Structure 1
Amino acid sequence: MKRVFPVPRQHSLYQPPILNPFIYHIELSVTDKLKIALASVTLVPLRLLCIFFIVLVAWPCAFLGRMCCPVCVTQEPVPNWKRHVSRFVLKTLGRAFFFCVGFIQIKVKGKKATAAEAPILVVAPHSTFFDAVVNIVAEIPSIVSRAENADIPLFGCLLRCSQPVLVSRTETNSRKKTVEEITKRAQSKGKWPQLMIFPEGTCTNRTCLITFKSGAFIPGVPVQPVLIRYPNKM
């Protein structure tokens, strides 16, 4: 038998590029620019009109949500019937909104775990405001949000209906309180809704994942990873 010696490893003449997850490079062809120009005078006005109609419907829903889910609702879980009603309303309004902005079809692979199986959903990569579509697909889990967002007209009332974990950036021990609240909910054995967390903590350009924050993993409970993919190149 002839003995074969391994070939020594060759060094590349060019260093591999270092991915910068915070820089966007968008190259639009002439066709893409024409499509954008055409959509600006045709689809955009129509979609804005539809969004305006959704906002009109959302106002009374937000008013009822404020009555059913006051500020103190973040301290104790709401009854199941309120949770189901608010979940149905938020999911319907949210799906209508995303349909208006172009999310005609949303493909889902795999099966979502229940709150008892995986109390926390970790979603990545986080790159845009539209990543909130995962919240609609995942049956409106609770999210971690700034406390100031709960005071925004309309949006704040709808946000409060999902029983979010509100983080106050003005408090010195806000990080500690947030971790304690996440741990309390994650270890409640299904009494609280699932939590959805973007562990990267910021937006990137989807070329790679950055280091996850530890908040979603401190409770020591099972988590379900959720991967977001956009079919378009932009």
Structure 2
Amino acid sequence: MSKNFINLYTFAGVICSTYRLPLPRLLEPLSMVLVLTIGWIIFLSSFIPVHFLLKGHDKLRKNLERCLVELICSFFVASWTGVVKYHGPRPSMRPKQVFVANHTSMIDFIILEQMTAFAVIMQKHPGWVGLLQSTILESVGCIWFNRSEAKDREIVTKKLRDHVLGVDNNPLLIFPEGTCVNNHYTVMFKKGAFELGCSVCPVAIKYNKIFVDAFWNSKKQSFTMHLLQLMTSWAVVCDVWYLEPQNIRPGESPIEFAERVRDIISTRAGLKKVPWDGYLKYSRPSPKHRERKQQSFAESMLRRLEEK
């Protein structure tokens, strides 16, 4: 199953190439912005009436809002000249299931959302992204958390358990790495998605770096600049695989279950597993932890020297 989006710039390029007309590169970002602007006009002119005028018709409103969120995500992908190939059956709305995927950028969510309106668990962001989270994306059941709030963990866990039991809720999507990784590796998965007592559906995402590096380093670049980089690149090309659902095995711990699913995703996307936590981006390990690791390494080296 594949879905290719060709934006206005690509169309204009074909016309100019056919009739040997010049197309200045300056028009490239302008055409991308034009695509996105048209998308927002169509989206907002439809979403606002649906959201406020159909409050007494919850099921119809949810279905329309779901379709509109998928539409605006499709416009985002089109503005990057996105070429996305989807492999496997399209996710369906069923209770007691959760989808987990490797994480390269916040655009992972957009690429998956244009095919299926997932409810995603995501870090709460400031600025215009936070505004979209608290308004439009809440309509599809997205759940937000704040890493600096310790009490958020219990609240989010309860929301996750309640969500996966709902029959009419959108499929739940979690990025268990907890941070963006450079699409060469997968870091350790958090166990939260694997102790909900439901089926886990792995999703593998692999970007083609020939056209653009889709990795978002939030420490060095704002998401706005990241989007502009994608809009001025040749194309965003990637493959998405919806893989066979997995269930926890008898005697298997949630951590072991998470590692097994990570292995499935890594193998399918051609990514290398590494044995460290993605949260090391946000906080340094304590001196005692470093000392224990250094002591363990020194002891292993001494044993090797003695054996020789």
Q: Is TM (by shorter chain) over 0.5? A: yes
1:117–1:222 CA contact under 8 A, matched in 2: no
| Structure-2 separation of matches of 1:69 and 1:168 | 31
Pairing 1:52–2:37 present: yes
Higher strand fraction (1 or 2)? 2
- The count of aligned residue pairs is 186
1:142 aligns with 2:119: yes
The CA distance in 2 between the partners of 1:136 and 1:118, in whole Å, is: 22
Which is worse superposed, 169-178 or 218-227?
169-178
1:131/1:151 Cα in 2 relative to 1: closer, same or farther (>3 Å)? Answer: closer
Cα distance, 1:151 vs. partner? 8.6
CA shift for structure 1 position 81:
1.9
Q: Secondary structure at the match of 1:160?
A: helix
User: Within the alignment, does 1:229 sit opposite 2:214 as a pair?
Assistant: no
Please show how residues 50-199 of structure 1 align to structure 2 within 5 Å.
Answer: 50-64=35-49, 67=52, 79-103=58-82, 105-116=83-94, 119-124=97-102, 126-132=103-109, 133-137=111-115, 139-147=116-124, 152-153=130-131, 156-168=134-146, 171-188=149-166, 190-199=167-176
Going from structure 1 to structure 2, the CA distance change for 1:200 and 1:171 (only over 3 Å counts) comes to: closer
Partner amino acid, structure 1, of 2:160: I
Kindly state the Cα deviation for residue 166 of structure 1 after the two structures are TM-superposed: 2.7
Query: Which of 196, 203, 206 is the equivalent residue of 1:219?
Result: 196
5+ residue gaps, structure 2, are: 1-22, 214-308
List gaps (5 residues or longer) in structure 1: 1-37, 71-77
Spell out, residue by residue over 1:134-189, the C-alpha distance to the aligned partner (whole angstroms, 9 max, x if none). 1222x11101134566994456422122111132556541101101111111133x
Residue 42 in 1 paired to residue 19 in 2? no
In the TM superposition, what is the alpha-carbon distance from 1:109 to its structure 2 partner? Answer: 0.8
Change (3 A) 1:65 1:122: farther
The Cα offsets for residues 89-142 of structure 1, whole Å up to 9 and x where unpaired, read as 111121122112211x32111113433276211011x112321211222x1110
Compute the TM-score of the two structures, normalised by the length of structure 1.
0.68
Quote the residue 1:29 is aligned against: none
Cα separation, 2, equivalents of 1:154 and 1:39: 33
Read off the aligned partner of 1:114 and give its amino acid letter. S
CA RMSD of aligned residues (A): 2.9
Give CA deviations for 1:66-99 in whole Å, capped at 9, x if unaligned. 53799xxxxxxx9432221111111112112211
Tell me if the contact between 1:123 and 1:198 (Cα under 8 Å) persists in the aligned partners.
yes
Q: Tell me the secondary structure at the aligned position of residue 216 of structure 1.
A: helix
TM-score (norm 2): 0.53
Distance in 2 of aligned mates of 1:151 and 1:45: 21
- Greater per-residue helix proportion: 2
Rounded Cα–Cα distance in structure 2 between residues aligned with 1:59 and 1:172:
36
Return the alpha-carbon distance in structure 2 between the equivalents of residues 41 and 152 of structure 1. 30
1:199–1:214 Cα contact (<8 Å) kept: yes
Q: Percent of aligned positions with the same letter in both sequences?
A: 18
